[in-house]
Structure 1
Amino acid sequence: MNRALRIIFSRYGIIAIILLLVLGVIALAQTREQTPLDGAESGTEGSEGSEGEATSEAFTEDDGFATEGCEGDDCYAGEELPQEAVDRAMDFTEAWLNPDGYGPDGWYDSIVPYLTTENADLMQGVDPVSVPATEVAGEPAADGQKVAVPLDTGTLTLTMTEGSNNWTGSDWLVSAIDWEQS
């Protein structure tokens, strides 16, 4: 028994134990390469690739959310935004322009009720000094899910979506902000 323990705890025994552990981890990592996306385990159709290799057919199956032939921003072009969504976009624009001269925290607090949670996270820490305009210069124009607001130095385009966030109940929210300098 002492002789076996001496061999195990010698430098060669410890090296052998470490080598076995490394080989075990590598073996486990290789078996983890097979994911449900390759279809081999989940049984999805169109996954005739080799084991552990996902085919493009498995990724293009209809998930029930995309509309047929819909690509890019034209997916909702046929739908018109209700006036309340356009009004909400204008309310956001007024707060975004920072007419009260708030600092970063006050400005963020004024715009966050109009934003989706994801967009609010992106706006955290933005300095309102970076807002490139000072006043609205025309009437907003709705096109699909987007509202274009002409400002004194360019056009603010807001993508609107129905939803709720941590600050507002269910309402129209800004899910994307795009600025085009004129």
Structure 2
Amino acid sequence: MNRALRIIFSRYGIIVIILILVLGVIALANRRQDTPLDGTNGVDSSEGAATTEGLTEDDGFATEECEGDGCFTDEELPEDAVDQAVEFAESWLNPDGFGAQGWHDSIEPYLTIDAAESMEGVDPATVPAEEIVGEATAEGMKVGVPLDTGTLTLTMVEGSNPWTENGWLVSAIDWEQS
């Protein structure tokens, strides 16, 4: 026992302990970078452009089911709901090059309160597309907007938020890469 303690507390033992701690921290940091919700979504902020890495799996967001009076489950959405979804998609693409707060302010009027809160702090550089390339289509409560790199699917609900009186709002956002 005495010999083991002398080895552990010798300079070589201390070096081995420090090395194990450093390797453990590096392994944890690498594991953190591999998680899908690490805040960067595969974007290297030094490059300023979104990558498509990590965007092939379903992120699980647009799973909200419609409940209550505003549901049109068997009917198509009215044209004004589809128009509102397209307007949101145009702002979501960030054509004006806003920073995070300016971008959030531009999309906030189209979102439900919960959706707006979930988009707080999102970097617009993570938007994986640049332009709308086709006509939006409605299916149930969802509107699919074809973009240059995939399809933006927006779940629409009728309601209001602090920025918009009664109208159609985006309650969930889903992205499917093509």
Q: TM-score, normalised by structure 2?
A: 0.60
Aligned residue among 143, 146, 150 for 1:154: 150
The letter for the 2-side match of 1:139 is E
Aligned residue among 111, 119, 123 for 2:119: 123
Q: Distance in 1 between matches of 2:72 and 2:161?
A: 22
Query: As a proportion of its length, which structure holds more helix?
Result: 1
Give the Å deviation of 1:76: 4.7
Q: Distance in 2 between matches of 1:149 and 1:168?
A: 22
Q: Distance in 1 between matches of 2:133 and 2:126?
A: 19
Instruction: Encode CA deviations 1:3-44: one digit per residue, 9 max, x unaligned.
Output: xxxxxxxxxxxxxxxxxxxxxxxxxxxxxxxxxxxxxxxxxx
Which residue does the alignment assign to 1:54? none
Instruction: Encode CA deviations 1:127-146: one digit per residue, 9 max, x unaligned.
Output: 00000000001000000100
Aligned residue among 66, 77, 81 for 2:77: 81
Give the Å deviation of 1:79: 1.6
Which residue does the alignment assign to 1:172? 168
Instruction: Encode CA deviations 1:103-128: one digit per residue, 9 max, x unaligned.
Output: 00100000000000000000000000
Q: Distance in 2 between matches of 1:168 and 1:111?
A: 12
Which residue does the alignment assign to 1:29? none
Q: Distance in 1 between matches of 2:108 and 2:77?
A: 21
Q: Distance in 2 between matches of 1:160 and 1:117?
A: 13
Q: Which runs of 5+ in 2 are unaligned?
A: 1-66
Aligned pairs (5 A) from 1:56-135: 76-135=72-131
Larger radius of gyration: 1
Give the Å deviation of 1:77: 3.8
- Runs of 4 or more above 2 Å deviation: none
Which residue does the alignment assign to 2:24? none
- Count of residue pairs brought into register by the alignment: 110
**Aligned residues with identical type, % of pairs:** 65
Q: Distance in 2 between matches of 1:108 and 1:162?
A: 21
